[in-house]
Homo-oligomer: A and B are copies of this chain.
Amino acid sequence: MSRMSFSCDYLEGALPEILKRMEETSMEQVPGYGFDPVSESAKDKIRKACETPKADIYFLIGGTQTNAVVIDGFLHRYEGVIAAGTGHVALHEAGAIEYCGHKVLTIPGSFDKLSAAEVEHYMENFLGDENHEHMVQPGIVYISQPTEYGSVYHKDELEALHETCQKYGLPLYIDGARLADALAAEDNDVSLPLLAHSCEAFYIGGTKCGAYIGEAVVFPHHDTIPHFFTLIKEHGALLAKGRLTGIQFDTLFTDDLYFKAGKHAVDEANRIRAVLKECGYTFDLENTTNQIFIVLENEKYKKISEEVELAFWEKKDDTHTVVRIATSWATKPENTDRLCAILRQYR
């Protein structure tokens, strides 16, 4: 790949600190399946960072897998998962949720963030339908922080949503594939401990935030899902050499590396954002995290693409395209400079 790329946030490998520790510890003999000392240490550090001393923590491998295992763990066979129409589980996971036998119940008209009011309305409608025992029972609510469009839920939104979920007996599960980016957003007021206290489960994304692979599932309350270990195994999601994810999270939660990884990504995105605004580019949707969605004329998109790889997101209309620019922990500042120059040039 000769052109530099801002097309996505998992183009590079892992933080050097992680690779170094993998090398240093490689010949140590440790037990498998996540019971090694480093994995235990990583869990402790996460418990501290979340201020949830009794949390159960499991390391899984990727987002789709994590969503499938956790959601399946929460649901009874006759239940489905409520999500926004734009939710990752609804669109881009190849039916991994349905594969487990559960319907994704998308709230009609919902887009990006899911509000307490939308869930309330959905549930009232459902319960008010005489035939609701003939329908899939809503069993959990799924959101992502930040969303698939890079938006962050604020404290009041999250707490209202959680309250509504509790009213209907629905656990709230938060997909944190890019959680480091939400935590670093200027307008963010949802800390890790607050997040942990506002849901029944969430995961701290590693793959997109400095790790090679790995997502840390956090159940703030002990034994939320009995036999979750067996469920992981049954899903084919259990890592023999669990140390691999353990090392990564232990490193990420040392010296605030995880938070720094997010901050770097968002800082670089903010520099790009400023140039885009200055030059009058059109944003498809405004957000404050590491992904930027702009609308480009097709011709201009084509020309810019000759110098830097951006991501096609969707057709806006016949002459315009929605394009995604993504930064990450690995974005080189000099590349951001070059991208800014290009954007200025094609303003």
Task: Let me know if A224 is at the binding interface, CB within 8 A.
Answer: no
How far, in whole Å, are A28 and B10 apart by their CA atoms in the complex?
11
Q: In the complex, which residues of chain B have a beta carbon less than 8 angstroms from the beta carbon of A231?
A: 77-78
Q: In the complex, which residues of chain B have a beta carbon less than 8 angstroms from the beta carbon of A19?
A: 19, 22-23, 26
How far, in whole Å, are A243 and B7 apart by their CA atoms in the complex?
17
> Does the CB pair B101–A99 fall under 8 Å?
yes
Task: Let me know if A340 is at the binding interface, CB within 8 A.
Answer: no
- The verdict on A136 contacting B94 (CB below 8 Å), with A4-B29, A13-B26, A231-B77 known, is yes
Q: In the complex, which residues of chain B have a beta carbon less than 8 angstroms from the beta carbon of A207?
A: 240-241
* Binding stretch for chain B, among A126-134, A152-160, A195-203, A276-284: A126-134
How far, in whole Å, are A76 and B212 apart by their CA atoms in the complex?
32
> Does the CB pair A32–B12 fall under 8 Å?
no
* Binding stretch for chain B, among A62-70, A185-193, A317-325: A62-70
A28-59 residues at the B interface, CB under 8 angstroms: 28-32
Q: Which of B10, B11, B66, B137 contacts A230 (CB 8 A)?
A: B137
Q: Which of B25, B99, B130, B243 contacts A234 (CB 8 A)?
A: B99
Q: In the complex, which residues of chain B have a beta carbon less than 8 angstroms from the beta carbon of A73?
A: 77
Q: In the complex, which residues of chain B have a beta carbon less than 8 angstroms from the beta carbon of A103?
A: 95, 98, 104
> Does the CB pair B30–A26 fall under 8 Å?
no
How far, in whole Å, are A244 and B28 apart by their CA atoms in the complex?
21
For this complex, into which size category does the number of interface residues on chain A fall? 35 or more
> Does the CB pair B236–A62 fall under 8 Å?
yes
Task: Let me know if A8 is at the binding interface, CB within 8 A.
Answer: yes
A132 to chain B, nearest CB (A): 9
> Does the CB pair B239–A61 fall under 8 Å?
yes
Closest to A36 in B: B1
Q: In the complex, which residues of chain B have a beta carbon less than 8 angstroms from the beta carbon of A10?
A: 32, 240-241
> Does the CB pair A77–B99 fall under 8 Å?
yes
Q: Which of B26, B233, B330 contacts A64 (CB 8 A)?
A: B233
How far, in whole Å, are A119 and B63 apart by their CA atoms in the complex?
31
Closest to A244 in B: B212
> Does the CB pair B27–A13 fall under 8 Å?
yes
> Does the CB pair A98–B93 fall under 8 Å?
no
Task: Let me know if A5 is at the binding interface, CB within 8 A.
Answer: yes
How far, in whole Å, are A241 and B61 apart by their CA atoms in the complex?
11
Known: A11-B30, A69-B236. 15 other contacts (CB 8 A): A16-B26, A19-B22, A22-B22, A62-B238, A62-B239, A62-B240, A63-B240, A64-B233, A66-B236, A95-B136, A98-B102, A133-B229, A134-B238, A136-B230, A208-B240
**A to B CB contacts below 8 Å, 14 in the list:** A10-B240, A13-B22, A16-B26, A61-B61, A62-B236, A62-B238, A77-B100, A78-B230, A94-B230, A95-B102, A95-B136, A96-B236, A98-B98, A133-B233
Identify the 10 closest CB pairs spanning chains A and B, nearest first: A65-B236, A13-B26, A94-B233, A95-B136, A11-B29, A94-B234, A98-B103, A78-B230, A95-B103, A98-B98
